[in-house]
């Protein structure tokens, strides 16, 4: 698995406890709260029998955002190269990543980096690429009908697994505090734990730019509000910043 932030693993807690994959996490998860979450995730994963990978919470969100704003493509192609090498060396047959939903640039980059990594791994192996799956963070776990396909991996959790998942999410959130606790409590209150009884890993993937034909991604609109309030100095833009990185990752994978 390749995740943007620690804590994302809670979304597919049931699958994680079955598959017990190696997990890479790009950032420490501190975000605006300034409270790193990587060690909390390490303990959660150890309890589930999963294992941290060579990259686990090494970067801050600020580091990633600054690389995006500078157009520092090598920062992201180097990550794709490391991930591809690990896929080959570990003889891994699948990679699961955050889905690019336009909610957060780091989430989106995890998918874009993963696509490049599995393509590059195929070239290195001279064989079919490892399968690549994504999971949603910005909507309910089963996604929208248009996103689903018969090649998805679907896990239906029993009542005990749902209770363990909800307890793990609340326990994690209470430990790290801040906005994550508020978000999880609000989500459970709005949808109930049973809404998270189905987990889906998606195989269908539209072109990145095509996902935002109707409106700008949320991270642009959120960034504009943060600039107006004085919290950000600059907005990360789809066309100015993210699409050039997507093209650079595609060129790396094809090279």
Could you report the per-residue pLDDT of 14-70, keeping only the tens digit for each?
999 999 999 999 999 987 777 899 999 999 999 999 999 999 999 999 999 999 999
> Residue 195 has what pLDDT?
85
Residues 142 and 200: beta-carbon distance below 8 Å: yes
Instruction: Residue 9: give its domain's CATH number.
Output: 3.40.50.10320
d(CA 146, CA 157): 23
Q: What is the pLDDT of residues 204-217, one digit of tens each?
A: 989 999 999 999 99
Q: Is residue 228 part of a domain?
A: no
The pLDDT of residue 214 is: 92
Specify whether the CB–CB gap between 143 and 136 falls below 8 A: yes
The pLDDT assigned to 212 comes to 96
Asked whether residue 144 is assigned to any structural domain, the reply reads yes
Residue 222 inside a domain? The answer is no
Q: What angle do CA 120, 219, 119 make, to 5 degrees?
A: 5
Q: Find the domain containing 30 and state its range.
A: 2-208+236-254
Q: What is the pLDDT of residue 96?
A: 98
- The pLDDT score that the predictor gives to residue 190 is 84
Supply the pLDDT for residue 25.
Answer: 98
Dihedral sign, Cα of residue 135, residue 141, residue 144, residue 149: positive
Q: Work out whether strand 153-156 and strand 198-201 pair parallel, antiparallel, or are unpaired.
A: antiparallel
For 66, 147, 156, 217, the CA distances from 62, given in Å and listed in that order, are: 6, 31, 37, 19
134 part of a folded domain: yes
What pLDDT score was predicted for residue 107? 97
The pLDDT of residue 194 is above 90:
no
Q: Would 213 be classed as within a structural domain?
A: no
> Residues 29, 7: contact at Cβ < 8 Å?
yes
Looking at every residue in the chain, the average pLDDT score rounds to 94
60: nearest Cα among 86, 44, 84, 37: 37
Whole-number pLDDT of residue 34:
76
Number of domains in the chain: 1
**Does 128 fall in a domain?**
yes
- 142-184 residue pLDDT tens: 999 999 999 999 999 999 999 999 999 999 999 998 777 888 8
- Answer whether residue 140 shows pLDDT above 80: yes
Q: How confident is the model over 91-105, as a mean pLDDT?
A: 96
pLDDT at 129 over 80: yes
Residue 225 lies in a domain: no
Q: What is the pTM of this model?
A: 0.95
Q: What is the pLDDT of residue 188?
A: 83
Q: Can you tell me the mean pLDDT for 71-98?
A: 97
- 121 in Cβ contact with 86 (< 8 Å): no
The pLDDT value recorded for residue 243 is 98
- Confidence at residue 57, expressed as pLDDT on a 0 to 100 scale: 96
pLDDT, residue 180, reads 78
Asked whether residue 113 is domain-assigned, the answer is: yes
């Amino acid at each position: 698995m390749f995740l943007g932030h620690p804590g994302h693993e809670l979304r597919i807690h049931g699958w994680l406890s079955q598959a017990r994959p190696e997990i890479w996490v790009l950032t420490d998860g501190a975000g605006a709260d300034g409270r790193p979450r990587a060690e909390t995730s390490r303990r959660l994963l150890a309890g589930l029998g999963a294992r941290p990978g060579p990259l686990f919470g090494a970067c801050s969100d600020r580091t990633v955002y600054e690389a995006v704003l500078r157009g520092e493509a090598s920062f992201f192609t180097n990550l794709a190269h490391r991930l591809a090498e690990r896929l080959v060396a570990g003889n891994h047959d699948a990679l699961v990543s955050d889905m690019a939903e336009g909610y957060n640039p780091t989430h989106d980059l995890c998918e874009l980096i993963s696509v490049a990594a599995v393509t590059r791994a195929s070239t290195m192996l001279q064989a079919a690429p490892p399968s690549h799956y994504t999971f949603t963070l910005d909507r309910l776990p089963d996604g929208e009908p248009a996103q689903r396909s018969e090649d998805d991996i679907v896990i239906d959790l029993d009542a005990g697994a749902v209770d363990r998942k909800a307890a793990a999410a609340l326990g994690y959130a209470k430990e790290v505090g801040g906005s994550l606790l508020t978000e999880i409590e609000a989500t459970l209150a709005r949808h109930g734990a049973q809404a998270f009884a189905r987990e889906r890993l998606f195989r269908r993937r539209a072109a990145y730019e095509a996902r935002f034909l109707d409106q700008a991604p949320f991270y642009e609109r959120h960034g504009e509000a943060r600039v107006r309030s004085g919290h950000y100095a600059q907005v990360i833009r789809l066309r100015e910043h993210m699409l050039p990185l997507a093209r650079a990752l595609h060129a790396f994978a094809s090279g």
